[in-house]
Chain A
Amino acid sequence: MNIFVILKRTFDTEEKIQIENSEIVDDGAEFIINPYDEYAIEEAIQLREEHGGEVTLITVGDEESEKQLRTGLAMGADKAVLIENEEIEDGDPFSTEALLGAYFQEKEIDIILGGNVAVDGGSGQVGPRLAEKLGINHVSSIVKIEIENGKATIERDVEGDQVTVEVSLPILVTAQQGLNEPRYPSLPGIMKAKKKPLEELDLDDLDLEEEDVEGKTKTVDRYLPPEKKAGKILEGDLDDQVKELVSLLKSEAKVI
């Protein structure tokens, strides 16, 4: 099987996020593989272990993304492609879709896996957009997948419930938490990853012009949510408490 994984390098959102002049300050931040994309890599490796074939990782990003690709190779993927987007101004999900679309144009695809959403931008658009562009089926938020005779039986998460769908290959799926437990890259895996092929591509290699990939959206402002204030515990007679609560909801919280 020709298995592809689209992944993104993101900063670790478990760390404190700082914003200065509407830009996220990322010096000193830890960078990781987007956690949902990690599920995708794990599933891709498991599919290869079951059906054979090859797992190729693709990312759109800067030079630094090589580390995340190498980590995926260390987990067990076979090769990796880094599509550089440094020349692109105001890149957005459309830009990523355009770059990936160009890359996949000539490829024989059985399945493309990605994360449900990236924890930084959080658009959740790249996967479905790419499937649309390539004209293949897509299923998002999957928690289980089995492939047999060119068909995939997939369980997808729908607001906490599950729906089972059957789709014919080729497909693009995006991973939801619960799909699997990603393995650690083993030490020998890390050492071997150094020798696995990693191809770097830019706009020229993909036969694209800058305007083909320019973002369609504009960021107007970026700010942190307001800090959560300490709660208030009402005291006294139950009836008075209810009255006070209602008046506070009206006057202070302004929700009713």
Chain B
Amino acid sequence: MDFTFTKEQEMIREMVRDFANKEIAPIAEEIDRTERFPIESFKRMGELGLLGIPFPEEYGGSGGDTISYILAVEEIGKACGSTGLSYAAAVSLGASPIYYFGTEEQKEKYLVPLAKGESLGAFGLTEPNAGSDAGGTRTKAVLSSDHYLINGEKCWITNASFARTVIVTALNGTDDRGKKKISAFIVPTDCNGLTIRSEYEKMGVRGSNTTEIVLEDVKVPKENLLGDPSKGFGQFLYTLDGGRISIAALAVGIGKAAYEAALAYSKERKQFGKYIGSFQAIQFKLADMAMELELAQNMVYKAAWLKDEGKPFKREAAFAKLFASEAAMRICNQAIQIHGGYGYMREYHVERFLRDAKLLEIGEGTSEIQRMVIAREIGCPK
């Protein structure tokens, strides 16, 4: 066993940390307060090649691996949860499916601008009545001669206001056995009939762009169908598995930010004539936080490593996402507790960490869905 990162992985992590400290962390509070999407940060991330880390150079990427990408998510998330979420969604959900399932033409046309950061990726799966329960999907695509006509509604879609194309899942007829088929389509956002609104008022990750997409008789060319239609929805589960590792990494990042803030505060704040960090009550909290972070991190890195090795990682990705997001919630909660009244104030940032972390127990499959995935993987009876 070897737990060391390669030199490239370390260099990437250091570069991203440096960049995130200097250019992302300073605006984190402001974008949360004003619900502003930091498009300037994404321009810089594009220039530095961060949006294309796990894609080959021929598609405008940087030719890095999943571990490097995961380290970048962690560092960006540590500086700002909102930016981290939009970053993870852009790469894991927006760009990755085109890389995995796209034709050569689709990659040239749609992946290259995403990898270079000229456009942001978005993945429209969730609907008012369907998310992890894909069977509830209502959005429908109907083939007529050389194009599909798509109608439906998507909700909570990250980044769509800043995307040139969104990937949208829709019912696409039935298979031989009469079962409903779900396919994915690359939809240019300037299509007639496509409306993108971002009017949600969110608890956390308020600087990320979250949208509602309405499709009314949206016409997309036949060749915009993504992936093999005969394989149906199953192929996209691979995308979601990958996305879960990045959400887990984001949880580690936010958890680390909260832990480091709490540890530093415990060395500054004096009560009863002593630093509060010298009290066992505080020490035990900090010890648990440090331990949970390390465990979460190990699980996240292992899942990413399995993916890089081309081995199955579904179960480990679910472990990582479930454990890291729940650990992040516990850590952020205790970080506020250690800060006492100050922690409840915006100025001390830890309350933002908690609000941001809560999303991670919900987005890209709730904790309950992760447990269902794990139960299936370990062979529980149906």
Residues of A that sit less than 8 Å from B by CB? 66-67, 70-71, 74, 184-191, 193-194
Contacts and interface: CB of A to CB of B under 8 A. Distances in A.
A194 B8 contact: yes
A187 B18 contact: no
A70 B48 contact: no
A187 B52 contact: yes
Interface stretch (B57-65, B163-171, B349-357): B57-65
A194 B68 CA distance: 15
B11 A188 contact: no
* Secondary structure call for the A interface: helix
Contacts of A193: 8, 11
Contacts of A184: 15, 18-19, 48
Given A184-B18, A187-B53, A71 B48 contact: no
Q: Which of B11, B18, B49 has the most CB of A within 10 A?
A: B11
A71 B15 CA distance: 9
A113 B381 CA distance: 69
A193 B6 CA distance: 13
Contacts of B57: 188, 191
B49 A71 contact: no
9 contacts: A67-B10, A74-B11, A74-B15, A185-B11, A185-B15, A188-B62, A188-B63, A191-B64, A194-B7
A191 B63 CA distance: 7
Q: Which of A70, A185, A186, A190 has the most CB of B within 10 A?
A: A190
B11 to A, nearest CB: 5
A187 B50 contact: yes
A184 B52 CA distance: 16
Contact of B48 (A67, A187, A191, A194): A187
Nearest to A74: B11
Interface in B1-41: 7-8, 10-12, 14-15, 18-19
Contacts of B11: 67, 70-71, 74, 185, 190, 193
Contact of B7 (A66, A187, A189): A66
Nearest to B19: A184
B90 to A, nearest CB: 15
Interface of B: 7-8, 10-12, 14-15, 18-19, 47-50, 52-53, 57, 62-64
Given A67-B7, A70-B7, A187 B19 contact: no
A191 B18 CA distance: 18
Contacts of B52: 187
Contacts of A187: 12, 15, 48-50, 52-53, 62, 64
B290 to A, nearest CB: 14
Contacts of B14: 71
Contacts of B18: 184
A190 B15 CA distance: 9
A70 B7 CA distance: 8
B172 to A, nearest CB: 36
Contacts of B7: 66-67, 70, 194
A161 to B, nearest CB: 29
A184 B50 CA distance: 12
Q: Which of A66, A187, A190, A193 has the most CB of B within 10 A?
A: A187
Contacts of B62: 186-188, 190-191
Given A184-B18, A186-B47, A191-B8, 18 more contacts: A70-B7, A70-B11, A74-B15, A184-B15, A185-B11, A187-B12, A187-B15, A187-B49, A187-B53, A187-B64, A188-B63, A189-B49, A190-B12, A190-B62, A191-B57, A191-B62, A191-B64, A193-B11
Contacts of A70: 7, 11
B143 to A, nearest CB: 40
A189 B12 CA distance: 10
A188 B49 contact: yes
Lowest 4 A-B CB distances belong to which pairs?
A: A187-B49, A187-B62, A191-B63, A186-B49
Contacts of A186: 47-49, 62
A33 B10 CA distance: 14
A66 B7 CA distance: 9
Contacts of A185: 11, 15
A139 B261 CA distance: 43
A190 B47 contact: no
A185 B18 CA distance: 10
Nearest to A71: B11
B26 to A, nearest CB: 16
Contacts of B53: 187
A62 B62 CA distance: 29
Nearest to A185: B15
A220 to B, nearest CB: 33
Contacts of A191: 8, 57, 62-64
Contacts of A74: 11, 15
A186 B57 CA distance: 13
Nearest to B17: A30
